[in-house]
Structure 1
């Protein structure tokens, strides 16, 4: 994956983040168990995303804002609901801000987003983040 990430981010304007990231159900269970446990998960996931975003930035990836974002989630099976998986975009947007990739993730910078899912057990699980064009 690391070799693929370097190769991909140097030839296109995409951020690639390996999965899994924490899904919505897991996060809710942490939140119910202990509020600090959920805060710890959020901090960890945001840090992981920020690291991959910084790496992409070092390869010249940038998004002009305001923009629409396209998330392509490559997953091995259909066991988890799409909304549970796509919840991880919260960590990705927060990671973008932490990395200095975007100034803010409000509507002045992010006009919207779309989620696409590809089920492929032979592919490495990941999310591809890119600008969405009409």
Structure 2
């Protein structure tokens, strides 16, 4: 079984330290208040009498904050779950490894997934049948400030050339001009290279869903293929091509392209540091 809890964002590590430095009694009082608050919100919810697997999805307004600073607030949550009777104890005897932490843009909340089986991205892993059993919409860490490749000017150039090549007396015939441009666009979007890229994107996307341990690598590969396809298409045709040829959603495509870009930037930084 799997349960979901949503709580306000407890104090982060820096805030905890700041309060403790001001007044140790104020820090203890704050800790008790948050534990009680979370315990109260757990009232009447399903309990887990044995071992559990847990995921934290931290929904944060400010992505400049350090992840370890944010995840320190898990202590308040775990103590509240124990006091609320949801879990027996927050020791390693009951909390199974790995404890997963995801970060998304949001309204300073924390979403908790608790399950009596291993979980990944809000999904229960069936130990008798490896793979995934869908339990909810997939939770994907959203990368902020996703920068798409620079828009290409090919379509504008094609349209201008097509207009110049048509005699003045035929310019008024809108269907003829539209047909020329549409045919050229279809030739671009249905090229063999783009069809091959679509097949590779779909393969890597399916592998990322089927293999949690290497999901990030497959996401990076899919992102690289998506960036290649995006560079070959006019901006106005990108979303149409994506929805027609690929199994991946627009938001997932943006995320995968951001992963590929981040990976490339890390490689460049590593190479520069070695020089």
Do both proteins adopt the same fold according to a TM-score greater than 0.5, normalized to the shorter chain? yes
Structure 1 runs, 4 residues or longer, greater than 4 Å off: none
Q: Is there any run of 5+ residues in structure 1 with no aligned partner, and where?
A: 1-11
Equivalent position SS for 1:13? strand
Cα distance change, pair 130–63 in 1 and its aligned pair in 2 (3 A):
farther
Of 44-53 and 90-99, deviating more is: 44-53
1:35 aligns with 2:44: no
Query: Which residue does 2:104 correspond to in 1?
Result: 118
Equivalent position SS for 2:90? coil
Whose radius of gyration is greater, 1 or 2? 2
Equivalent position SS for 1:38? helix
Q: How far is the alpha carbon of 1:109 from its aligned partner?
A: 0.8
Q: How far is the alpha carbon of 1:64 from its aligned partner?
A: 5.5
Query: Which residue does 2:51 correspond to in 1?
Result: 66
TM-score (norm 1): 0.76
Q: How far is the alpha carbon of 1:101 from its aligned partner?
A: 1.3
| In 2, Cα distance between equivalents of 1:72 and 1:118 | 7
Match for 1:106 among 91, 110, 116? 91
Match for 2:6 among 12, 16, 35? 16
The answer on whether the counterparts of 1:50 and 1:96 sit within 8 Å (CA) in structure 2 is: yes
More strand by share: 1
| In 2, Cα distance between equivalents of 1:79 and 1:45 | 24
More helix by share: 2
If asked which structure has higher relative contact order (CA below 8 Å, sep 6+), I would say 1
Query: Which residue does 2:166 correspond to in 1?
Result: none
The answer on whether the counterparts of 1:65 and 1:110 sit within 8 Å (CA) in structure 2 is: no
The answer on whether the counterparts of 1:75 and 1:117 sit within 8 Å (CA) in structure 2 is: yes
What whole-Å deviation, never above 9, does each CA across 1:76-107 have from its counterpart, x for those lacking one? 22132111111111011110111111221111
| In 2, Cα distance between equivalents of 1:62 and 1:98 | 12
The answer on whether the counterparts of 1:16 and 1:52 sit within 8 Å (CA) in structure 2 is: no
Aligned CA RMSD, in angstroms, stands at: 1.9
